[in-house]
């Protein structure tokens, strides 16, 4: 054992850095398990780990190098505090998370000191150094958080949650508010940048499930695209919907694979659906993309595939018929009324879904091809439609798009 206390503390610091991933697991698990409110803000432990990692590593390096946190380190902590305020994270959750991480870190430090047979006085010295430096980092973060919160309270500045509630209903957003939010979130030139919106739903599942999905998708998109991602939850027509927005210079079709990957990568099977609006120039024009995504999500409720994303541009037919409820009822009554709930409706839906292929329809319904021919003939008799006529076929497609399937899912 060294006669210099600092040498002993440096040995412990080196050992902790060598076993850093195990240390991070202990801290992350403790925060995750002891702060229920925190899990509604952070989707997964890998995300939480990234948020805690920098602070823990900083204080261990300070001990190893015999110094206090640098100006650059404190500045990064302050930025994190501003970000939490903009996200709507509560002051209590922020402090509780930090305190839990601090207790776990100091407990682990004490274990290392005992393992390496440090004298109790030196272990206490090291523990006090860790706490002092953690306090400096926490103070920088909380000061910035409180200053930002005061700005929000004083000026009614937009936060991410309020932003999306206003975007969802098409409310006017002042250019100054948009510019300030964009600057604080690290988005350059909010007037000329193209932005796109994504709407997510879990089909009426518990609100906590939607929150976990939202943060998971945000985390995955941020990691994959290396771009700022904004998000919030709004009330949908039947259940809450998560809205996500990000800068996007390409077409909406190019974003679909990234969304599909994020949804499919959820750790728990969630019957989730997603819809994407069209890109709009300027953060102030994002409202239209948000409403497009919401409209597509609602209009394709009965037809969209679970854990897949669809585009507003590909669901215009469904959106169109949903905008006129009387027309929806008339279409359904006129063309599907005589077939409602029968095997004939199921056959018609399957036949249209297979692009009018008799053989595919027969295979999916597990019947002979001649049976399909007979059923289609019977459908024409009951409805007065000619399924070989383009005009009549268009009416059938509109009626099917406007009416949820009342029978079995033939393709299931």
pLDDT of residue 308: 81
Question: 287 or 271, which is more confident?
Answer: 287
CB 12 within 8 A of CB 109: yes
How far is residue 293's CA from residue 260's CA, in Å, rounded to a whole number?
15
The residues, any chain, with a CB within 8 Å of residue 274's CB and separated by 6 or more, are: 198, 199, 200, 201, 217, 259, 263, 297, 308, 309, 310
Phi-psi region of 266 (alpha: psi -120 to 50; beta: other; left: phi over 0): beta
What fold characterizes domain 160-321?
A: Alpha-Beta Plaits (3.30.70)
The answer to whether residue 302 scores a pLDDT higher than 70 is no
Q: In angstroms, what CA-CA distances link 402 with 187, 310, 332, 396?
A: 40, 17, 7, 10
Tracing tokens 């204080």 back to the chain, one arrives at: 59
What fold characterizes domain 5-155?
A: Globin-like (1.10.490)
Q: What is the pLDDT of residues 239-258, one digit of tens each?
A: 788 888 888 989 999 999 99
Run of H or E including 251: none
Where do you find CATH 1.10.490 in the chain?
5-155
Where do you find CATH 1.10.10.2840 in the chain?
324-402
Q: Which whole number is the average pLDDT over 343-357? A: 89
The most confident of the ranges 171-180, 233-242, 268-277, 387-396 is: 387-396
pLDDT of residue 71: 92
Identify the architecture of domain 324-402 in CATH.
Orthogonal Bundle (1.10)
SS3 211: helix
Q: What is the pLDDT of residues 173-195, one digit of tens each?
A: 666 666 666 665 566 677 778 88
The answer to whether residue 90 scores a pLDDT higher than 80 is no
**Cα dihedral angle (162, 163, 167, 171), rounded to 10 degrees?**
70
pLDDT of residue 410: 43
Mean pLDDT, the chain, rounded, equals 80
Number of H helices and E strands in the chain, helices first, is 17, 6
CB 184 within 8 A of CB 194: no
SS3 352: helix
DSSP single-letter state for residue 247? E
The answer to whether residue 95 scores a pLDDT higher than 50 is yes
SS3 112: helix
pLDDT of residue 209: 79
Beta-bridge partner residues of 281: 194
Where helices occur in 306-342 by DSSP H, the ranges are: 316-322, 325-331
Where do you find CATH 3.30.70 in the chain?
160-321
How far is residue 281's CA from residue 348's CA, in Å, rounded to a whole number?
42
pLDDT of residue 393: 84
The answer to whether residue 13 scores a pLDDT higher than 60 is yes
The most confident of the ranges 96-105, 134-143, 183-192 is: 134-143
pLDDT of residue 383: 87
The answer to whether residue 283 scores a pLDDT higher than 80 is no
pLDDT of residue 185: 59
How far is residue 137's CA from residue 52's CA, in Å, rounded to a whole number?
12
Question: 187 or 411, which is more confident?
Answer: 187
How far is residue 353's CA from residue 401's CA, in Å, rounded to a whole number?
11
pLDDT of residue 154: 58
Q: Given pLDDT bands bounded at 50, 70 and 90, which one contains residue 314? A: confident
Q: What is the pLDDT of residues 209-239, one digit of tens each?
A: 787 788 788 878 888 888 878 887 877 555 7
């Amino acid at each position: 054992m060294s006669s210099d206390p600092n040498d002993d503390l440096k040995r412990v610091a080196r050992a902790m850095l060598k076993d850093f991933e195990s240390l991070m697991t202990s801290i992350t698990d403790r925060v995750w398990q002891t702060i229920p409110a925190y899990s509604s803000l952070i989707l997964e432990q890998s995300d939480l780990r990234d948020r805690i990692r920098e602070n823990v590593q900083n204080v261990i390096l300070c001990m190893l190098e015999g110094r206090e946190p640098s100006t650059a380190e404190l500045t990064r902590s302050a930025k994190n505090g501003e970000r939490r305020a903009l996200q709507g994270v509560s002051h209590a959750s922020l402090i509780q998370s930090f305190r839990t991480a601090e207790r776990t870190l100091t407990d682990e430090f004490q274990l290392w000191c005992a393992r390496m047979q440090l004298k109790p006085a030196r272990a206490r010295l090291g523990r006090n150094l860790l706490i002092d430096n953690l306090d400096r980092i926490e103070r920088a973060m909380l000061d910035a958080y409180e200053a930002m919160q005061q700005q929000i309270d004083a000026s009614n500045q937009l936060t991410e949650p309020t932003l999306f509630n206003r975007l969802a209903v098409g409310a006017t957003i002042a250019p100054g508010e948009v510019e300030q939010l964009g600057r604080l979130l690290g988005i350059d030139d909010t007037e000329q940048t193209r932005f796109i919106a994504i709407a997510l739903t879990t089909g009426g599942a518990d609100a906590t499930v939607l929150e976990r999905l939202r943060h998971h998708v945000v985390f995955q998109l941020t990691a994959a695209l290396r771009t700022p991602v904004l998000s919030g939850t709004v009330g949908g027509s039947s259940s809450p919907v998560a809205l996500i927005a990000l800068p996007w210079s390409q077409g909406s079709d190019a974003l679909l694979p990234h969304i599909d990957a994020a949804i499919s990568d959820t750790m728990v099977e969630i019957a989730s659906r997603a819809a994407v609006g069209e890109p709009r120039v300027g953060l102030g024009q994002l409202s239209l993309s948000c409403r497009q995504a919401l409209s597509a999500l609602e209009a394709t409720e009965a037809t969209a595939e679970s854990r897949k994303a669809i585009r507003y541009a590909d669901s215009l037919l469904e959106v169109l018929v949903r905008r006129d409820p009387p027309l929806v009822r008339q279409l359904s009554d006129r063309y599907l009324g005589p077939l409602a709930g029968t095997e004939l409706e199921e056959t018609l839906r399957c036949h249209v879904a297979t692009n009018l292929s008799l053989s595919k329809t027969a295979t999916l319904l597990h019947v002979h091809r001649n049976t399909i021919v007979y059923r289609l003939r019977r459908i024409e008799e009951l409805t007065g439609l000619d399924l070989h006529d383009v005009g009549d076929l268009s009416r059938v497609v509109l009626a099917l798009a406007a009416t949820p399937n009342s029978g079995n899912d033939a393709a299931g």
